[in-house]
Chains A and B, each alone.
Chain A
Amino acid sequence: MDLSGFAAVVIGILGSGGLGAIVAFRKAKPETESIIAGTLKTVIEEVQSERNYYKGIADGLREEIASKDRLLAEAYAQIGDLRGRVQRLEDGAHTP
């Protein structure tokens, strides 16, 4: 085979490779499943982290509300007690 004949063979092989590359490019998937899954996993982890952060804040606020509720209940009880004493004084009792 002379040089020009061999050059034609080489062009044919490279051309076939080019066509194969175009076909393969069009048919192959755009991104690997493992990477898509990995990206989704990262998103899920970020959302879970944020959820835990806000849950921590919410739990703290609930405890704070319960504490204030207890203080309020005590204050109402003391008010009730004082009202009772005042009422008894007004009724003429000598000793409260």
Chain B
Amino acid sequence: MALISAPQRKYLAAHPIALWLSLAIAVSGAIQLVRPELVASSPVALALPEWLRLIFASVYLIAGLACVFGLVRGRPKWEAAGDALVASVLVVQFAAALHLFGTDVIGTALVTALLGVGFAQRSIHLARGGY
């Protein structure tokens, strides 16, 4: 039996942006946990205490993995949960950037925030029974 069936491949092919963003978020979460020194100058790392940064990185990793699993296996439940978590961590990033640097980083912060809105919208769509 193939790892990914033909219908699953079709579903994946229909959601490439969500897939690669989710994968990037999972990888980023793993880096924040395993090699935090690589992201030591990020707004979140600067704004949050160590214990909360670890929680944030864990949520980041879990959210990304849940989204990827949901997309690859065609499980909207996992994807919806992952999307909601991704939306929350992106809002935290947005808030951390504004908290530290104010409107100097409004462009980047807005991109992050709007991505979060997109993930939240996707989660709501799935929770309402959509695909």
Q: Please give the residue numbers on chain A whose beta carbons come within 8 Å of chain B beta carbons, in ascending order.
A: 1, 3, 6-7, 9-11, 13-14, 16-18, 20-35, 37-39, 41-42
Interface size on B, residues (CB 8 A): 43
Considering the complex of A and B, which 4 residue pairs feature the smallest CB-CB distances, nearest first? A17-B88, A38-B7, A24-B80, A20-B84
Query: Main SS of the interface on chain A?
Result: helix
Q: Please give the residue numbers on chain B whose beta carbons come within 8 Å of chain A beta carbons, in ascending order.
A: 5-8, 10-11, 47-49, 52, 55-56, 59, 63, 66, 74-85, 87-89, 91-92, 95-96, 99, 120, 123-124, 126-129, 131
Contact B74 A10 (CB under 8 A): no
In the bound assembly, the distance between CA atoms of A76 and B126 in angstroms comes to 75
Contact B80 A27 (CB under 8 A): yes
Query: Main SS of the interface on chain B?
Result: helix
Contact B127 A23 (CB under 8 A): yes
Contact A35 B7, CB 8 Å, known A25-B80, A29-B77: yes
